[in-house]
Structure 1
Amino acid sequence: MDQLSAMATFVRAVDAGSLSAAARSLPSSLTSVSRQIAALEQHFGTRLLLRTTRQLALTDEGRILYERAKAILGEMKEIEAALSRDRHQPSGRIRVASPSLMGRLVIAPLLAEFLRRYPALSVDLLLVDRAVDMVEEDIHLAIRVGRLPDSELVARKLADLRMIVCAAPAYLAERGVPETPGDLAHHDCLVFSDAPGSAEWRFADGSKTGRKIRISGRLWMNSLDALAAAAREGAGIVRVPSWQAEADFAAGHLVRLLTDYEPAPAPLHLMFQPSRLASPKVRAFVDYLVERWRSVDPFGPPPRAGQ
């Protein structure tokens, strides 16, 4: 059995929804499609598909194989492209995952020039505030903020990001200015999260890891944009990336707080699988972002309070 060919047939059958549809799209005979899938099931010693008169259903084992096989087949295409005559002309589609706010305000504006530079490339920009599974979701590149866990992924550092605490002048005039992180217990805090409950903000205290302060916010949102808008209207104290608040500082809409307790900046990385390193389109995108960051850092430090 040609395992790679059989996996391609299996993936095609799942995507098409039936063995007959897969046979027509390959093209191949229904007998050949059935035989290859049966050979896969015999090889792995488990049922992969549940066949009905109308459709196919994946078993748990079948779903694992489908996700992995799809990733393997995608990597094979990358290898073929890297070894082809056109390896110096990146082409195809590249899938990039980014935190929502950063993707919308920072990454998206950079894509026009990238697409002009590489007319044979297309980009799918996925805006998600979670850590994606790059293999199962077929993501070529992912932008991640913070310390990275041990992983087989390759990381390319782009910048350092600083989280700051700020509030509107009207709120501070009414409720007072917090002098220490502990004072936040007496203030209305605006929290970025998908699940209301309790949260922790980290502040510097002279130690390596810093100090965590438990925050019980009155307003929770899963959008940093919306939180900043609420803060501008005096809803409370918010914690946002420094680059997001630059315009509000300049306009006097927000005031930066607790500057002596700001934690060390968090690294921003561009992540990709080692197997993608040979892909011309992945290299092109990585090199492009690094080039743009070196020329104009979109996360330049904001002015300190009072400046």
Structure 2
Amino acid sequence: MDQLAAMATFVRVVDAGSLSAAARSLPSSLTSVSRQISALEEHFGTSLLLRTTRHLALTDDGRILYERAKSILGELREVETTLSRGCHAPSGRIRISAPTLIGRLLIAPLLAEFLRRYPLLTVDLLLVDRAVDMVEEDIHLALRVGHLPDSQLVARKLADLRMIVCASPAYLQRRGVPQIPADLSHHDCLVFSDAPDIAEWRFKEGVKAERRIRISGRLWVNSLDAVVSAAKEGAGIIRVPSWQIEADIADGALQPILVEFEPTPAPLQLLFQPSRLTSPKSRVFVDYLVERWRAANPFGVHAIARSKQ
């Protein structure tokens, strides 16, 4: 069995919705297409497709193979394109995910220059405030805030992000200034979240320990910009990244509180699938991002690590 050819046929079957439609588009015979799918299932020792007279669906194993096969075949096409042009410049599509605010303010403005530098590359930028499934969603690089749980992914730390608790001077004058984290239970808290629930804010307790304080928010918003705007108008207390509100604190629109209880900064990490760690297109994007962020110092830190060649 030509495994690459069989995987290409399998992807075509899934995209077309049936074996017969895939056979017509290849073009190939229905018997040949069916034989290749059966050979793949025998090779992997599992069923890949659920077939009925009117419907075709992926099994769980079939979905895994479909996503990985699409990625592998895409990478192969990019290699073929590069070699056929007789050049070694990075080429193809690079798919990146990032938290919405970081992506909008700190990545999107850098992409015009990146695309000018690398004219054979195209970029898909996915801005979502959730942990993406890099395999299923075909993500090459993902920026994520926080520590990475046990995973097959490879992480590179880019910066440390401080989380600041603050409110407008008008609110604090009206309601008083919290002296300890537990005082927040008597205040109006504004929470950044996709769904109203019980939130927890982390605070330092002692030298190394941390404590989580439950917050029952009066306002829940799935936009950091909107949360900050509401706080500046005196709606309540927020907990947001320090880099986002640096100017608001400088001009007095917001006032930091509970500073002595500020927890350890959260790492901003760039995640790779191990198979894509050495991809030229991934490497040049990481190098470019680090270069520009080191120059601009957007997070108020000066220790963004240099890229490893």
TM-score normalized by structure 2?
Answer: 0.89
1:166 partner SS: strand
Deviations 1:124-155 (A, max 9, x none): 00011111111111100000111122323222
Q: By how many angstroms is 1:66 displaced?
A: 1.9
Contact 2:165 2:238 in 1 (8 A): yes
Contact 1:78 1:279 in 2 (8 A): no
Question: Are residue 13 (structure 1) and residue 16 (structure 2) matched?
Answer: no
Q: Which residue of 2 is the match for residue 122 of structure 1?
A: 122
Question: Are residue 159 (structure 1) and residue 197 (structure 2) matched?
Answer: no
Q: By how many angstroms is 1:91 displaced?
A: 0.9
Deviations 1:244-288 (A, max 9, x none): 112222332211111111112111111111211232111110111
Q: By how many angstroms is 1:293 displaced?
A: 1.9
Q: By how many angstroms is 1:118 displaced?
A: 0.8
Q: Which residue of 2 is the match for residue 194 of structure 1?
A: 194
Once the two structures are overlaid, the 10-residue window that deviates more, 107-116 or 271-280, is: 271-280
Letter in 2 for 1:8: A
Letter in 1 for 2:3: Q
1:149 partner SS: coil
Q: Which residue of 2 is the match for residue 298 of structure 1?
A: 298
Q: Which residue of 2 is the match for residue 43 of structure 1?
A: 43
Once the two structures are overlaid, the 10-residue window that deviates more, 199-208 or 223-232, is: 199-208
Q: Which residue of 2 is the match for residue 203 of structure 1?
A: 203
What is the identity percentage for the equivalent residue pairs of Structure 1 and Structure 2?
77
Partners of 1:71 and 1:98 lie apart in 2 by 20
Q: By how many angstroms is 1:70 displaced?
A: 2.6
Residue correspondence of structure 1 range 69-88 to structure 2 within 5 A: 69-77=69-77, 88=88
Question: Are residue 240 (structure 1) and residue 240 (structure 2) matched?
Answer: yes
1:204 partner SS: strand
Q: Which residue of 2 is the match for residue 58 of structure 1?
A: 58
Letter in 2 for 1:138: D
1:123 partner SS: strand
Aligned residues: 301
Q: Which residue of 1 is the match for residue 307 of structure 2?
A: none
Partners of 1:147 and 1:83 lie apart in 2 by 39
Letter in 2 for 1:212: R
Q: By how many angstroms is 1:89 displaced?
A: 0.6
In structure 2, the gaps of 5 or more residues are 302-309
Partners of 1:187 and 1:226 lie apart in 2 by 19
Partners of 1:179 and 1:78 lie apart in 2 by 58
Partners of 1:196 and 1:87 lie apart in 2 by 52
Contact 2:64 2:136 in 1 (8 A): no
Query: Judging changes above 3 Å, is the alpha-carbon distance between structure 1 residues 162 and 132 closer, same or farther for their aligned structure 2 residues?
Result: same
Partners of 1:108 and 1:192 lie apart in 2 by 22
Letter in 1 for 2:21: A
Residue correspondence of structure 1 range 252-271 to structure 2 within 5 A: 252-271=252-271
Q: Which residue of 1 is the match for residue 132 of structure 2?
A: 132
Partners of 1:157 and 1:103 lie apart in 2 by 17
2:89 partner SS: coil
Q: Which residue of 1 is the match for residue 216 of structure 2?
A: 216
Q: By how many angstroms is 1:202 displaced?
A: 0.9
TM-score normalized by structure 1?
Answer: 0.90
Letter in 2 for 1:293: W
Letter in 2 for 1:114: F
Letter in 1 for 2:15: D
Partners of 2:281 and 2:92 lie apart in 1 by 7
